[in-house]
Amino acid sequence: MSDILDWTNADLDTLDMAAYAARAETMAARLREETGAGRLPFLTMPYEAALKKQLADLEGYLDRFEHMLLLGIGGSALGARALQKAFHPSQDRPGHRGKSLWIADNVDAYALTAYMDSLPPEKTVVVTVSKSGGTIETVGQYFIIKEWMKERLGDAWADNMLLVTDAEKGFLRGEADAYGIKALPVPDNLGGRYSVLSAVGLIPALFLSMDIDALLAGAREVADVLADPALSGETLAGTQAFRLAAWGAALMDKGFTEMIFFAYIPLWASFGDWFAQLWAESLGKEGKGSQPVPAVGVTDQHSVNQMFMDGVRNKACLFLTCPSLPDGPDFPEDLPDQFAYVRGKPFGELIRAEGLGTRMALSRSGVPLVEIRMGADGPRQAGKLIGLLGAATILTGWLMGINPLDQPAVELGKRLAKARMDADGLAEEKAHLAAFLNANRDEREF
């Protein structure tokens, strides 16, 4: 089955798509310039051949371990989790005996203590992911896990550590050089939220025996045409990535300030969290953007769908489906009459019916909706989805007139947190912090 975008209920006749379509030639020129200068490795993937060799060299090493503890946050963890949930679901099911991926993506003393209490260090590889090597939430965990490994493994501690960081600079690169720790690079100009198909996400994928070649090939199906040095405006205008971008920008012009990502592929639900960071961190700038809202079908039909259907009319929806999901067991024939409509039918038919009903109901409720219908739920299709949404996000940002590759507002919170921990410098941040903490507070017990 083919992978399809169904635009039937996208409300295109009410949106000024033509204004953005007219900019296809300008956008194509920008893509040619940016890819030619090496500033969009998400699309060009110049690192692919070298990475495949590095991963092949790692395969035997990773086979030694039963557990992988991934230390990372945001884009260093969300893609890996989405892939694990989609293609290694046995870890979350009863009786799991195979390899396990554990992701420490928060400042959570309970979880970090549990990992050290329960994981066998000799059978655990610790992967620390930070492009800059200075992400304190991640590097802070590294400091503690490093000491745990030293205490338990002695001089061999570094053999169970793997770093994913800048190729040349930063604290973690210094650790790799000082202790001989295995390290793979994060390519230049590849931001965390765009990095899942680099070493950041593919090391965990390799550990869990996923088809990495298929993931990369799927992404290339979308990216290669956009990275073509001869890309024309006409060709770009015909891509689904550009059409999604024009739709997203036109929606915001009409006051649609929320973008639902409704996943009716249960194992792919965590792609909603990955998309939320991608869309929010890329487009939420200068008072612009739309808030991404991950939702899971059918679970969220019974929770937030009431708001989607009958709340403020400011929502659009990307609706992810796959008609070829397994049927599963059949419902029994001897059901009570009130459930006669499912007698003998496959259990999997229910999610298809629920998805269709919700899609129709959203459309009838005035929610512009594009269905992303995957022909299968395999790794090639996942790579294709990653490529499509990443490219569409970049193009949406350009059409909005903002930079979709930075995240300036996020840095303020990081600097204030460092000021609270009394890091050197940061005089201005420390002054703001003191004023905030010394203000008269309106605090009331409940």
Q: What is the CATH number of the domain that holds 159?
A: 3.40.50.10490
Do 155 and 23 lie in one domain? The reply is no
- In the chain, the number of structural domains is 2
Do 136 and 166 lie in one domain? The reply is yes
Do 188 and 303 lie in one domain? The reply is no
pLDDT band at 389 (very low <50, low <70, confident <90, very high): very high
What per-residue confidence (pLDDT) applies to 416? 85
Is 125 part of any domain? yes
Digit-coded pLDDT (tens) for 92-107: 999 999 999 999 999 9
Do 163 and 207 lie in one domain? The reply is yes
Is 281 catalytic? The answer is: yes
Catalytic residue from among 302, 333, 443, 445: 302
- Burial state string for 397-411 with b = 16 or more CB within 10 A and e = fewer than 16: bbbbebebbebeeee
Catalytic residue from among 281, 285, 384, 429: 281
Is 293 part of any domain? yes
Of 400, 415, 430, which marks where a domain is finished?
400
Is 95 part of any domain? yes
Q: Is the pLDDT of residue 382 over 90?
A: yes
Of 187, 212, 237, which marks where a domain is finished?
212
Supply the mean pLDDT for the chain: 96
152 burial level (CB within 10 Å; 0-12, 13-18, 19+):
middle
Mean pLDDT of 107-122: 98
Digit-coded pLDDT (tens) for 140-172: 999 999 999 999 999 999 999 999 999 999 999
Do 266 and 303 lie in one domain? The reply is yes
Domain containing 150 equals 41-212
Do 201 and 307 lie in one domain? The reply is no
Do 232 and 343 lie in one domain? The reply is yes
What per-residue confidence (pLDDT) applies to 253? 97
What per-residue confidence (pLDDT) applies to 173? 97
Q: Residue 69, SS3?
A: strand
Do 31 and 51 lie in one domain? The reply is no
Digit-coded pLDDT (tens) for 47-83: 999 999 999 999 999 999 999 999 999 999 999 999 9
Is 438 part of any domain? no
What per-residue confidence (pLDDT) applies to 423? 86
Do 90 and 231 lie in one domain? The reply is no
Is 59 catalytic? The answer is: no
Q: Scan for tokens 């030639």, then name that residue.
A: 25
Do 63 and 177 lie in one domain? The reply is yes
Is 196 part of any domain? yes
Is 254 catalytic? The answer is: no
What are the tokens at 105? Answer: 């993506």
Is 207 part of any domain? yes
Is 348 part of any domain? yes
β-strand 369-373 against 4-6: which pairing, if any?
Answer: antiparallel
What per-residue confidence (pLDDT) applies to 286? 95
DSSP state of 330: B
Q: Are 377 and 265 spatial neighbours (Cβ–Cβ below 8 Å)?
A: yes
Please count the other Cβ atoms lying within 10 Å of the Cβ belonging to residue 357: 12
Q: What is the largest CA-CA distance in the chain?
A: 74
Of 370, 385, 400, which marks where a domain is finished?
400
Do 147 and 162 lie in one domain? The reply is yes
Catalytic residue from among 150, 288, 414, 432: 414
Do 197 and 109 lie in one domain? The reply is yes
